[in-house]
Amino acid sequence: MEYKYAQRMSNLKASEIREILKVTQRPEVISFAGGLPAPELFPIEEIKRVNQTVLEESGAIALQYTTTEGYLPLREWIANRMNSHLGTSFEADHVLITHGSQQALDLSGKVFLDKGDVVLCESPTYLAAISAFRAYECDFVEVPTDDDGMVIEDLERILNSVKNIKMIYVIPEFQNPTGKTWSLERRRRLAEAADRHRVIVIEDNPYGELRFEGESLPSVKSFDGQGYVLCTGTFSKIFCPGYRIGWIAGEKEIIRKFVLAKQGTDLQCNTIAQMEIAKYLELYDIDEHIGRIRDVYRRRRDLAVQVMEKEFPAGATFTRPHGGLFAWVELPDEMNARDVLTLSLEQNVAFVPGGSFFPNGGHENTFRINFSNMPEERIVEGLTILGRILQTLILPRK
Amino acid sequence: MEYKYAQRMSNLKASEIREILKVTQRPEVISFAGGLPAPELFPIEEIKRVNQTVLEESGAIALQYTTTEGYLPLREWIANRMNSHLGTSFEADHVLITHGSQQALDLSGKVFLDKGDVVLCESPTYLAAISAFRAYECDFVEVPTDDDGMVIEDLERILNSVKNIKMIYVIPEFQNPTGKTWSLERRRRLAEAADRHRVIVIEDNPYGELRFEGESLPSVKSFDGQGYVLCTGTFSKIFCPGYRIGWIAGEKEIIRKFVLAKQGTDLQCNTIAQMEIAKYLELYDIDEHIGRIRDVYRRRRDLAVQVMEKEFPAGATFTRPHGGLFAWVELPDEMNARDVLTLSLEQNVAFVPGGSFFPNGGHENTFRINFSNMPEERIVEGLTILGRILQTLILPRK
């Protein structure tokens, strides 16, 4: 049967990651593919307690509909957290609770993007942001990006020459997929450029709390002049992703538009999930919890980098991220990471080829490594296998 | 500051219901406004137990990411339930778990609607379906609707004369806002018309399980020939709405498109919410639970109808629904229900004026009464107050 879909559907294809993740559900597979947190760090006992407490204290409220904006004590916590960590000055009414920060991206598309509008992004950028925005039939222009973030001269050139630019999408902290972090200077200059050109910035920040070394930097938002910058965040990486609770924060006038868009989209987020997280934040010390996550991920990052340094051939270069979940590998230009994946899957090792992270294609010689999800011995085993495959395919051993 | 929003945002306005609901959060207000289930019926103790069981048995899975499609045992239960209650023949792969059935509507818009496409709907229809579809810049044509559903001759005439019809949206069971139920004949003829004209039907069914009297009828989907009919459902009215777990079911080819759309929208629904509902369905008898809900709502419906018969003036006519949550009141043409609301809010009684349920406007002489959320004595008190206001405004007492 031929069904008539909307035109936008011809732009959407299955997320390569989620397709690979289906393969990696077999327990024998060593997966560097997903962006999955380490499940052994989920505070299960604490969550059992907060669930019972919330249901005892206010079960009838926790299981009922609530406001689209989200649970007020949670929005207050988020505003305070961003203010103390990111140099912002938010109140609860600047914050909308979203179904993971992914929904913050979808709603950003819904609120701002018309067909043919242009989104500027880092090159490469987060795969599922491309899917979220593409559903609103936008085009992408990739801004050349180095180790410090977008190259501002290139950004300015594009802002001056390309029409219909509606939005700039960036992940300044431990970027997905590269693991790179923007310098302070670049953050400031991005905010200034957005202000001058009156273009919305979506500052996506799912990994900022997971810094293993170095000093935290103020957000792009902290340099915002006229309210063009919106910030997203999520509990997925610092608490657990199964709840699907994230947020977007920005000028009240803009957030009111997001609330309108969310009303028609799904009315509101899960009430009890919001109340359980708020209760957890009241009863427990989330900084202590985040400290444990950081320690585990730091060791895994260290180990991943060590094994890659030892086993990867010299022609394969990779990032050494200061936080987050991901490292990024570049192979010689003529190679295709999809071919490497075919070989590595035969040996039960998975990762995500990098091509999908470039909205306009190319760069098939790259791939992304997640180091947060696998225990240490499997990181060593998997990256050793991958290194040996790369050795047979490329180049003299380093 | 002037921010440049997408064109679709000029079509969206705040949901009148959700704005009124904010007012009705004051405890002294007797609210017939929302579509809120009775919170005293939520199975709080059972939910406490299923939460602990799920976290003990599989906490690390319940708190982690899962597939976009949703939790398999839950999708299996839904397919079986629809097959036994609605005359369908679904398997788990025909079902996508959505963030309430509201998201099923949003995704229907995303998958099918281009700017300028036409959605046919009952007149009146569900307010938040209008918001969901309108975000995709469609137009609406209201199909004349009587006590048995859409008038098929009018539907045929519209299908033959209006261009770009992409979708027919209906709520055949205890419709929101009218409480009316489609006859078997109309269901069959709708499916046949959709098939002949190759137009998608969204059969929205949040209230079907809440029948107080009479025999259940087969769904529109049960008469579907070539797969043009999609069915939504939700746990909001038979379990609790705070979890935001609903679904959409249809041909596998179409559901795959919905999965793609949902990936970019929010990745997946809350994992633990899905597992808790599945565990509840395994450990408890949901039919017994639904029986309790039906008994309570039936008594409230009886009481509401009794009070309206006694207190409303003859010029105010109303429906006597056989199930669901809502009754519908029509006042003399020259009256405006918003004026009535102003007066009744002064006496702490709330309802939703009917005009918003007509996508193309008009019909300001109507309003919707929810009878599920208030305890019996407040139903009597509130509708008595409302009846007396109507008496002063209209007509000789009946």
Q: Is the pLDDT of residue A396 over 60?
A: no
Question: CA-CA distance, B310 to B231, in Å (whole number)?
Answer: 38
Bridge partners of residue A200, in order along the sequence = A167
Q: A396 and A316 in contact (C-beta within 8 Å)? A: no
Look at the pTM and tell me if it is higher than 0.90: yes
Q: What is the mean pLDDT of residues A112-128?
A: 97
Task: Residue A6: list chain B partners with CB under 8 A.
Answer: 110-114, 117, 136
CATH number of B7-42+288-393: 3.90.1150.10
Question: CA-CA distance, A391 to B7, in Å (whole number)?
Answer: 53
Q: Is the pLDDT of residue A23 over 80?
A: no
**Contact assignment for A261 to B3 by CB distance below 8 Å:** no
Look up residue B353 and give its two tokens: 């004026």
**Which one, of A355, A376, A351, A375, lies nearest residue A364 by Cα?**
A355
pLDDT-based confidence at A19, cuts 50/70/90? confident
Digit-coded pLDDT (tens) for A147-187: 999 999 999 999 999 999 999 999 999 999 999 999 999 99
Tell me what pLDDT residue A398 has.
45
Bridge partners of residue A119, in order along the sequence = A140, A167
Look up residue B74 and give its two tokens: 């839950």
Q: Which residue of B has its CA nearest to A252?
A: B1
The class level of CATH for A7-36+288-393 reads: alpha beta
Tell me what pLDDT residue B395 has.
57
Tell me what pLDDT residue B398 has.
45
Q: What is the mean pLDDT of residues A2-9?
A: 94
Instruction: Dihedral sign for Cα A284, A290, A296, A297, please.
Output: positive
SS3 content of chain B, % helix, strand, coil (to 5): 50, 15, 40
**Contact assignment for A242 to B63 by CB distance below 8 Å:** yes
Residues across chain B: 398
Q: Is the pLDDT of residue B111 over 50?
A: yes
CB atoms within 10 A of CB A146: 11
**Which one, of A105, A84, A83, lies nearest residue A94 by Cα?**
A83
CA atoms in the 13 A half-sphere facing the CB of B322: 16
Q: For B232, phi and psi rounded to 5 degrees?
A: -110, 160
Q: Is the pLDDT of residue B108 over 50?
A: yes
Instruction: Compare CB distances from B266 to A1, A103, A268 and report the shortest one's residue.
Output: A103
Q: In percent, how much of chain A has pLDDT > 70? A: 99
Tell me what pLDDT residue A395 has.
57
3-class DSSP state of A398: coil
In order, the DSSP letters of B106-141 are HHHHHHHPPTT-EEEEESS--HHHHHHHHTTT-EEE
Question: CA-CA distance, B231 to B201, in Å (whole number)?
Answer: 8
Architecture of the domain delimited by A44-283: 3-Layer(aba) Sandwich (3.40)
Query: How far is the first Cα of chain B from the last one, in angstroms, to the nearest whole number?
Result: 56
Look up residue A213 and give its two tokens: 């070394």
More confident residue, A173 or A19: A173
Question: CA-CA distance, B173 to A382, in Å (whole number)?
Answer: 55
Asked, as a colleague might, if the bond just before B375 is cis with ω within 30 of 0, I would say no
Question: CA-CA distance, A363 to A75, in Å (whole number)?
Answer: 40
**Contact assignment for B261 to A100 by CB distance below 8 Å:** no
Where does residue A396 rank: exposed (0-12), middle (13-18), buried (19+ CB within 10 A)?
exposed
Question: CA-CA distance, B247 to B202, in Å (whole number)?
Answer: 12
Tell me what pLDDT residue A362 has.
96
User: What is the ipTM score, two decimals?
Assistant: 0.96
**Contact assignment for A63 to B39 by CB distance below 8 Å:** yes
Measure CA A93 to chain center: 24
**Contact assignment for B102 to A55 by CB distance below 8 Å:** no
**Contact assignment for B270 to A65 by CB distance below 8 Å:** no
- The residue of B3, B55, B72 whose CB has the most chain A CBs within 10 angstroms, and thus the best one to mutate to test that interface, is B3
pLDDT-based confidence at B397, cuts 50/70/90? very low
Look up residue A273 and give its two tokens: 């999930």
Q: Is the pLDDT of residue A236 over 90?
A: yes
Alpha helices in A149-247 (DSSP H): 152-161, 184-197
Bridge partners of residue A327, in order along the sequence = A369
Q: Which element (helix H / strand E) includes B393?
A: helix B376-393
Q: What is the mean pLDDT of residues B278-294?
A: 98
Question: CA-CA distance, A330 to A314, in Å (whole number)?
Answer: 11
**How far is the CA of B392 from the CAs of B29, B33, B277, B336, B340, in angstroms?**
21, 22, 48, 14, 10
Look up residue A154 and give its two tokens: 């290139």
Bridge partners of residue A329, in order along the sequence = A318, A367
Q: What is the mean pLDDT of residues B256-284?
A: 97
Instruction: Compare CB distances from A64 to B14, B241, B271 and report the shortest one's residue.
Output: B241
pLDDT-based confidence at B396, cuts 50/70/90? low
Digit-coded pLDDT (tens) for A135-156: 999 999 999 999 999 999 999 9
**Contact assignment for B200 to A3 by CB distance below 8 Å:** yes
Q: Tell me, what DSSP letter sits at residue A372?
A: S
Digit-coded pLDDT (tens) for B341-392: 999 999 999 999 999 999 999 999 999 999 999 999 999 999 999 999 999 9
Which segment of A250-264, A354-368, B21-35, B198-212 scores lowest on mean pLDDT?
B21-35
Q: A367 and A340 in contact (C-beta within 8 Å)? A: yes
Digit-coded pLDDT (tens) for A43-56: 999 999 999 999 99
Digit-coded pLDDT (tens) for B138-171: 999 999 999 999 999 999 999 999 999 999 999 9
3-class DSSP state of B78: helix
Instruction: Compare CB distances from B260 to A14, A62, A268 and report the shortest one's residue.
Output: A14
**Which one, of B355, B268, B219, B253, lies nearest residue B66 by Cα?**
B268
Extents of the domains making up chain B: 7-42+288-393, 44-283
Helix axes of A127-134 and A16-23: crossing angle, nearest 10 degrees? 130
